[in-house]
Amino acid sequence: MGINIVLLIVASLFFGIGICISKLKWYWLISGYNTMNKEEKANVEIETLGNYMSKTFFFISSLNTVGFLLNYFFNISLAIFIVLTVIVLLYSIYYCQRFDHNTNSSKETKIVLVIVIFIMLITCIPIMAIGYSSTKVTITDTSIKISSGVNASIPKDKIKSISLVNEMPKTLIRTGGIGMGRIQKEVIV
């Protein structure tokens, strides 16, 4: 439930920023534009950029709200909505370059954007793949081995008791895991 609250807060923030840009004309909220000098700002189509950015923020807000509703009522994984939000953000960064007519920023920004996308792909996709992989539990004479991306082995002499309960035990410390919709893996101490 905690991630759902975060999702609603993020949706509210994006909606609020969209309102501030579209209705209040707070263009200083647009990252990059707020750090330009007057000459550089003169080369930016700020009205068109502001209109595009506010629509993008409204779309991301809607995407997060739909993600919350589908997760809350139908237990649909939030991972797809998180990935879609990142894709929309990265695309909007790329698309916004057409409103900036300053000569030096376009090529450098595209190179940085490609590097950021590459880093995100090589880090996020493996993490999500590990999260979606099935957990395998092997019980031997000496230990219990749990494998799911991160392998763990609990020696038999460290196990004090084993019991079957109808409710989740009280969590003292959560030391790792992943929680995306139907996938709820965690290490509880």
| Residue 131: both structure tokens together | 């999260």
Q: Which domain holds residue 73?
A: 2-132
At 28-79, the pLDDT tens digits run 999 888 888 999 999 999 999 999 999 999 999 999 999 889 888 887 877 7
Residue where a domain stops, chosen among 132, 156, 172 = 132
93 shares a domain with 17? yes
Residue where a domain stops, chosen among 103, 132, 161 = 132
Q: How far is CA 42 from CA 37, 45, 48, 76, 147, in A?
A: 9, 8, 13, 46, 57
Structure letter (DSSP) for residue 85: H
182 shares a domain with 125? no
CA of residue 155 relative to chain centroid, distance: 36
pLDDT given for residue 172 in this prediction: 63
67 shares a domain with 6? yes
109 shares a domain with 16? yes
Residue where a domain stops, chosen among 88, 111, 132 = 132
151 shares a domain with 120? no
